[in-house]
Amino acid sequence: MNSKDRMYDVGGVLLPRPFKARRLGHFALWQTDLEMARRLYVDLLGFRATDTVIREGKPVAVFTSHGTDHHSLAAIHASTAEGVRKAHYEKGIFVNQISFQVGTLEEVVNAHEYFEQRQIYISRLGRDFPGSNWALYVLDPDGHRIELYYGMEQIGWDRRSKPAAAYIQAVRNGFSLPQPAEMTEIMSAEQGGVDLDSGFRPAEDLPYDYCVGGVMLQRPFKVTKVGPVNLFVSDVAASEMFYTELLGLTKTEEVHYGGHRCVFLRCGTDHHCIGLFPLALRAEFELNASTSLMSIGVQVAAYRQLKDAVAFLREKGLRFIDAIPFDLHPGIDYAAHAVGPDGHCIQLYHSMEQVGWDGRPRPAAQRRRVEPDWPQTIEGLPDACADQTFQGPLG
């Protein structure tokens, strides 16, 4: 058995890598105007603010979430970029992180050794607050930072984040195993006199004016997932090798568009969580010429919500574009692309094709064709409403 064929024991299952990226859990961008980012993520898209990091009296990071994870979408102030990452930022890598959840803390540690042996640039191994997640960060060939994390803080029914007083020391340069359970830390904080109810809880000052499936919400839609992340890359083959061979994502399909090869990769049953597009396509779509981010996806809970989201966001001043062709979002039928005030494209959609045990996507000829005038209702395909259910109330 050569080293390429080596298998690793991951929780008793033999896999080709000592970790498995299970889902795209969160995403962050470098931003220069955090208040603008907060308005976009929170006021317009409906993510909930969960924490803001203040340094020397100024906010340097805004964390938001659509669910129980402490964060699923974050904005980090570009002034905090240092070293290699600052250099990448200055070349248009505005992605701060694309973050995948793994199953155990052991997988984070073993992934570190795995990437180190393969001489991949390692940005950090440690534990961050807020969020409390343990993480390994590596850079892809263009400098997009990829995180593999374990143990994201979960926020419950009262929407209150963990108080900063309950944080333990951030870990920056490696750690040993085993580590205590989260609950052990929380009990220890409580015994030390920390008021566990003193964490941040966002003010909900917008009116609850929209009926969504029988519940009054602040917007006519609810974001239920982040991703896919579509990237313009300088060498599609090199990036494909990184994301498949090293990170362990699976290629679902590739699309040839105007002579350009575009690759769609998945980590679970969603058709794709990462799309790789050659940089040359960026100009064709008249997208922001200074960023490698083609789009960040946000899924809403239903087709009707997608229609209503477009109308709502348009009314609130978001600019929608028709530049991205249907063929470049395989697995997603009805989608709308908006450009945020930060110049980044947001891909809104309602449903993602599911890929089953045999790994085969739906043949392109059998995919739903999108009507130019979006109909009131659409036919329920066999995998309609079959992906992960959103847990908990919508608002």
Interacting residue ranges for Fe ion, rule: CB under 5 A: 99, 147
Nearest residue to Fe ion by CB is 99
Give the integer Cα–Cα distance in Å for 360 and 358.
6
The minimum distance between CB 312 and Fe ion, in angstroms, equals 29
The minimum distance between CB 208 and Fe ion, in angstroms, equals 31
User: What distance lies between CA 120 and its chain's CA centroid?
Assistant: 22
Q: Which two tokens stand for residue 375?
A: 């109909």
In the bound state with Fe ion, the residue whose beta carbon lies nearer, of 168 and 215, is 168
- 107 contacts 19 by C-beta, under 8 angstroms: yes
Cis peptide preceding 375, ω within 30 of 0: no
- 138 contacts 102 by C-beta, under 8 angstroms: no
Q: For the residues of 42-69, what is the DSSP string, one character each? A: IIIT-PEEEEEEEETTEEEEEEEESSSB
Give the integer Cα–Cα distance in Å for 340 and 37.
9
Q: Which residue has the tokens 């143990």?
A: 151
The minimum distance between CB 38 and Fe ion, in angstroms, equals 18
The minimum distance between CB 29 and Fe ion, in angstroms, equals 12
In the bound state with Fe ion, the residue whose beta carbon lies nearer, of 133 and 351, is 133
Burial (0-12, 13-18, 19+ Cβ within 10 Å), 142: buried
Question: 83 in helix, strand or coil?
Answer: helix
In the bound state with Fe ion, the residue whose beta carbon lies nearer, of 147 and 387, is 147
List Cα–Cα distances, 174 to 109, 125, 153, 256, in angstroms.
8, 5, 20, 42
Looking at residue 33, its amino acid is D
In the bound state with Fe ion, the residue whose beta carbon lies nearer, of 130 and 248, is 130
- 297 contacts 271 by C-beta, under 8 angstroms: no
Integer-rounded Cα radius of gyration of the chain:
21
The minimum distance between CB 131 and Fe ion, in angstroms, equals 6
In the bound state with Fe ion, the residue whose beta carbon lies nearer, of 126 and 341, is 126
Give the integer Cα–Cα distance in Å for 118 and 113.
9
C-alpha dihedral sign at 8, 13, 18, 21: positive
In the bound state with Fe ion, the residue whose beta carbon lies nearer, of 99 and 351, is 99
Give the integer Cα–Cα distance in Å for 119 and 26.
25
Reference 103, options 268, 225, 226; nearest CA is 268
In the bound state with Fe ion, the residue whose beta carbon lies nearer, of 28 and 212, is 28
Query: Which letter does DSSP use for residue 219 in this model?
Result: S
The minimum distance between CB 153 and Fe ion, in angstroms, equals 11
In the bound state with Fe ion, the residue whose beta carbon lies nearer, of 31 and 99, is 99
Sequence-distant (6+) residues with CB within 8 A of 214 are none
The minimum distance between CB 128 and Fe ion, in angstroms, equals 6
In the bound state with Fe ion, the residue whose beta carbon lies nearer, of 41 and 277, is 41
Give the integer Cα–Cα distance in Å for 215 and 208.
9
In the bound state with Fe ion, the residue whose beta carbon lies nearer, of 99 and 239, is 99
